[in-house]
Amino acid sequence: MKTLRLILGDQLNLSHSWFNQVNDDNLYLMAEMRQETDYVKHHIQKVVGFFRSMRNFGNSLDNEGHQVLYFKISDENNPQNLPQLIEQTISEHKIEKFDYLLPDEYRLNQQLQEICDSLSIPSEVFDTEHFYTSRDELKNHFKGKKQLLMESFYRMMRKKHNILMEKNQPEGGKWNFDQSNRKKWDGSPEIPEELSFNTDVTELLDEIKSAKVNTFGNIDSKNFPWPTSHQECKELLDFFCSKLLTYFGDYQDALHTQEKYLFHSRLSFTMNSKMLSPKEVIDTVVEHYYEHKDDIHISQVEGFIRQILGWREYMRGVYWKEMPDYAELNKLDNHNALPDFFWTGKTKMNCLHKSITQSLDDAYAHHIQRLMVIGNYALLTQVDPNEVDAWYLGVYIDAIEWVEITNTRGMSQFADGGLVATKPYVSSANYINKMGNYCKECSYSHTVKSGEKSCPFNALYWNFLEEKKSHFKNNQRMSMMLSLLAKKSKEELEELQQRARKIIEQPDKF
């Protein structure tokens, strides 16, 4: 039976059982589509990264003897959208059956279900064989429970998959070493130069420009740094283990003006495109740890595994449990516009200038830059979560909706009212100064609470607590801060709020 098998751009899993045997009756379909480049405005490095990875994947299948039909963005006969692409291919190649892999985005899941309903031939859907969990595993784990506590889910995953366990107890005597993962990096230990693949993507970039795909951000076409094949992804994983893992946990929350990567792995793109599986990553890291236990403390490894086995799988489970309603949540009723400097990096606030400029230059920022600098500011200035979502989804090379929206709308913007995070992740300048050196080179003073020289985060923080206090009156984790708020004099609070209002009304002046 002549079968068409669709592979989406984030389904680049060479280890999938589909490819165990070569069958001339199977035609694998891949396409670079305007449907996918245009549903949100993407960073140019994100578009280049996915397209080049897709082309490398298609070539790998072809080299193994599989039949591959590949549409480039520039192909004249590329329909540029999924329904027409599938209909056209079925007709031209006399297809008798249609197969596809479970999409990880809700919109594509709905679209493919509608396509299959309209077909006159049978269709079948297969698992991507990528995640540790099924779509419904988190929902089933929390059935009948009021809170979706990640720590509970994480412990279940550790036990189920026997990762860092000793006789059903956590290795090292603790489930979570988060308290050990908050050190400020001050220049020591030395950070190795990052592994960059320096690929020439000029030809691909010209194709994207000729197709008039609307992107933003910066790119060096002669030195594209990201891995775009399974082999390169493996090299990056091995580099992380041998050069960075020893200090990853200690400094995973650190901020520094001169070090954008610190000891982070930069592996999220390799996993979210499925070029590497989370199991391959975790198995490699754990094996390296056991071979080098004299040099690597378990807190470094646990902190890394928690992000993948815990947080990544948890966020996916929340996504499939709560969509599509999750994408409309705005529990704090925030409706302000995203400042223009999110697209330029031009702001006098050094932490935001550094973090946003880095995001525009590299399509990358680590989780504390995303959460406690950029996301913190967006929440304190009460930006509409729809605008925050669109920016985060577009700017980062690893951003796919299933992992982006739960982190952004949930953890970062608290728009889900506490479904993901037990409290809003907001802070004054004190936290930013505590974790890095951004404040030392800033136009504003992190120690001054009000007035023109004061860090905007200070006034914005107290203004946010005052304006949103009704949302948090029953939140125990906010009780101490609300108590401090209540102790402020009417005059002091008014002064803070006046400055906050100026910042919110004209953010691009600050």
Compute the distance between CA of residue 483 and CA of residue 190 in angstroms, rounded to an integer: 42
DSSP code of residue 244: I
User: What's the whole-number average pLDDT of the chain?
Assistant: 96
Percent of the chain at pLDDT exceeding 70: 100
The string of DSSP letters for 463-480 reads HHHHHHHHHHTT-GGGHH
Q: What is the 3-state secondary structure (H, E, C) of 86-151?
A: HHHHHHHCCCCEEEEECCCCHHHHHHHHHHHHHCCCCEEEECCCCCCCCCCHHHHHCCCCCCCCHH
Q: What is the CATH number of the domain that holds 168?
A: 1.25.40.80
Q: Residues 500-504: what's their mean pLDDT? A: 97
Q: Does the pLDDT at position 128 exceed 90?
A: yes
For the domain that residue 483 is a member of, what is the CATH number?
1.10.579.10
Pick from 95, 126, 157: which residue ends a domain? 126
- 284 and 170 within one domain: yes
The reply to whether 10 and 118 lie within a common domain is yes
Residue 115 tokens, joined = 């396509």
Instruction: With H, G, I as helix, E, B as strand and everything else as coil, classify residue 68.
Output: strand
Is 291 within a domain?
Answer: yes
Q: Is the pLDDT of residue 129 over 90?
A: yes
Cα distance between residue 254 and residue 436, in whole Å: 6
CA triplet 383, 217, 504: central angle to 5 degrees? 20
What is the C-alpha separation between 251 and 397, in angstroms, rounded?
22
293 three-state secondary structure: coil
Average pLDDT over residues 316-328: 98
d(CA 97, CA 93): 11
**HSE-CB of 401 using CA atoms within 13 angstroms:** 19
Strand partners, 97: 3
Asked if the model's pLDDT at residue 253 lies above 90, the reply is: yes
Angle at 168 between CA 164 and CA 170, to 5 degrees: 40
Q: Are residues 56 and 175 in the same domain?
A: no
Q: What percent of the chain has pLDDT over 90?
A: 97
Looking at the fold, whether 298 and 400 belong to one and the same domain comes out as no
Residues 360 and 472 in one domain: yes
**CA distance linking residue 279 with residue 271, whole number of Å:** 10
pLDDT of residue 49: 98
Q: 155 and 115 share a domain? A: no
Cα atoms found within 13 Å of the Cα of residue 101, Cβ hemisphere only: 23
**Short-list 321, 468, 476, 326, CA closest to 410:** 326
Q: Is the pLDDT assigned to residue 219 strictly greater than 90?
A: yes
Residues 431 and 465 reside in one and the same domain: yes
The CATH code of the domain that includes 64 is 3.40.50.620
Q: Which of 126, 158, 181 is the last residue of a domain?
A: 126
**Residue 350 located in a structural domain:** yes
Q: What is the mean pLDDT of residues 99-120?
A: 97
Q: What angle do CA 29, 102, 235 make, to 5 degrees?
A: 75
**Residue range 342-385, pLDDT digits in tens:** 999 999 999 999 999 999 999 999 999 999 999 999 999 999 99
Distance between alpha carbon 89 and the CA centroid of its chain, in Å? Answer: 33
- Please indicate, yes or no, whether residues 161 and 108 belong to a single structural domain of this protein: no
- Cis (ω within 30 of 0) for the bond into 189? yes
Q: What is the pLDDT of residue 438?
A: 96
Mean pLDDT of 85-99: 97
The answer to whether residue 222 sits within a structural domain is: no
Q: Would 411 be classed as within a structural domain?
A: yes
Q: Is the pTM of this model over 0.75?
A: yes
DSSP 400-417: -HHHHHIIIIIIIT-TTS
Give kind and range of the element (H or E) at residue 350: helix 350-362
Alpha-carbon distance of 80 to 35, in angstroms, equals 6
What does the alpha-carbon distance between residue 92 and residue 29 come to, in Å, rounded to a whole number?
Answer: 13
Q: Measured between alpha carbons, how far is 170 from 494 in angstroms, rounded to an integer?
A: 50
Q: What's the DSSP call for residue 339?
A: P
pLDDT computed for residue 457 by the predictor: 98
Do 402 and 468 share a domain, yes or no? yes
Rounded-to-integer distance, Cα 187 and Cα 440, Å: 15
Residue 223, in any domain of the structure: no
Q: Does any domain span residue 132?
A: no
pLDDT at position 466: 97
Q: What is the pLDDT of residue 181?
A: 83
pLDDT in tens, 164-209: 999 889 999 999 998 878 899 999 999 999 999 999 999 999 999 9
In terms of DSSP bridges, do strands 169-170 and 165-166 run parallel, antiparallel, or are they unpaired?
Answer: antiparallel
221 assigned to some structural domain:
no
Would residue 182 count as lying in a domain?
yes
The single residue listed with the structure tokens 């308290």 is: 179
Tell me, yes or no, whether 442 and 480 share the same domain: yes
Residues 353, 267 share a domain = no
Q: How many domains does the chain have?
A: 3
Q: Residue 260 pLDDT > 90, yes or no?
A: yes
State the pLDDT confidence band at 141, using cuts at 50, 70 and 90.
very high
Per-residue pLDDT, 179: 82
Domain stops at, among 79, 107, 126: 126
What's the pLDDT tens digit per position in 448-496? 998 999 999 999 999 999 999 999 999 999 999 999 999 999 999 999 9
Residues 401 and 317 in one domain: no
Q: Which residues contact 145 (CB under 8 A, 6 or more apart)?
A: none
Residue 305's domain spans which residues? Answer: 137-209+229-322
Q: Phi, psi at residue 215, to the nearest 5°? A: -125, 180
44-63 and 202-210 helices, crossing angle to 10°: 110
Span 38-55, average pLDDT: 98
- Give dist(CA 101, CA 379) in Å, integer: 36
Gap between the Cα atoms of 274 and 454, Å rounded: 45
The label of the residue with tokens 């930013």 reads: 432
